[in-house]
Amino acid sequence: MPDQSFVVTGGAGFIGSNLVAALNARGHTDIVVVDTLNHPEKEHNLADAVYREFVTKQAFRERFLAGRHPLVDTVFHLGACSSTTEQNAAYLEDNNVLYTRQLCEWCLAHDIRFVYASSAATYGDGALGYVDDHTLIPSLEPLNLYGRSKQSFDLWALQSGAVDRIAGLKYFNVYGPREGHKGDMRSVVNKAYRQILDTGGLQLFRSHHPDYRDGEQLRDFVYVRDAVAVTLFFHDHPDQSGIFNCGTGEARSWLDLGRAVFAAMDREPDITFIDMPSSIRDKYQYYTRADVAKLRATGYNAPFTSIEAGVDDYVRNHLAPTMDSR
């Protein structure tokens, strides 16, 4: 049986490079990686990967729009600007919306499976909950331009009917190896590890909401290997289409996460609180928790990794060895 073929956009990035590694682990090497190597860590992300070709986004976009790109079995579209502080609306419209629509239309025209990254940022402040019901999507109000760009494509997919033939994943707070290039958008686990190494302690944002005590703001934290497993599920099951939450279904506090990092480093917790910057205070999410009933209804029944187990693996097997080698 011939090897299946894939395109992974954002393939040198965080979730993308972990997905390429998972495809390699399955024995797949006919992979076109689409990305921009604009950071040394992104090159490191692909150091052990086996793939057919690396292509820049511009070259790839020109190819498929001109009908010159070879057809593949599945396109995993994970390449997008993921900065929640990006203020260039025109750039986000082109990069996160138009590019995604063009690629989706190419896939649909050639019966190629299209699995793309949406985002939990589309839920805004969570006032309408975190249920991935298609009828609720038009009512969501993202808090930033990044979230709006993801919402914009989700809406197009619904209105065009494409949603019935593709799979979109609203990733919640994903953390894990291969995120070193993300700068300020790195997970708190990654930042906390380095802060604890440098200072011995960890600073978390103070709560500015009367219903949440300091450090008890809640998030749905997803280990990247689980995010990849869900993503691959929708390649394995092309009969399952729609927009789905990709989260654990459990909300945990920043204190829980911080304590897990200290435990993985074999240290006693030393956590203090600092004021949240006023620039993000009005757009801060105090609670996120994916409703995973719809995901489970597809037949995806694998357990999700607890933050204690995920952080322990990330710190001991990825962050610590990396720091020790430098």
- Catalytically active residues are 146, 182
Residue 227: C-alpha distances to residues 34, 52, 224, 299 (Å): 19, 24, 5, 16
List, in order, residues 6 or more apart from 148 with CB less than 8 Å away.
92, 142
Given the structure tokens 């409703």, which residue do they identify? 291
Residue 243: C-alpha distances to residues 194, 248, 277 (Å): 35, 16, 33
Environment class of 105 (CB within 10 Å of its CB; exposed 0-12, middle 13-18, buried 19+): middle
Given the structure tokens 């190597």, which residue do they identify? 37
CA distance 296 to 293: 5
CA distance 140 to 277: 25
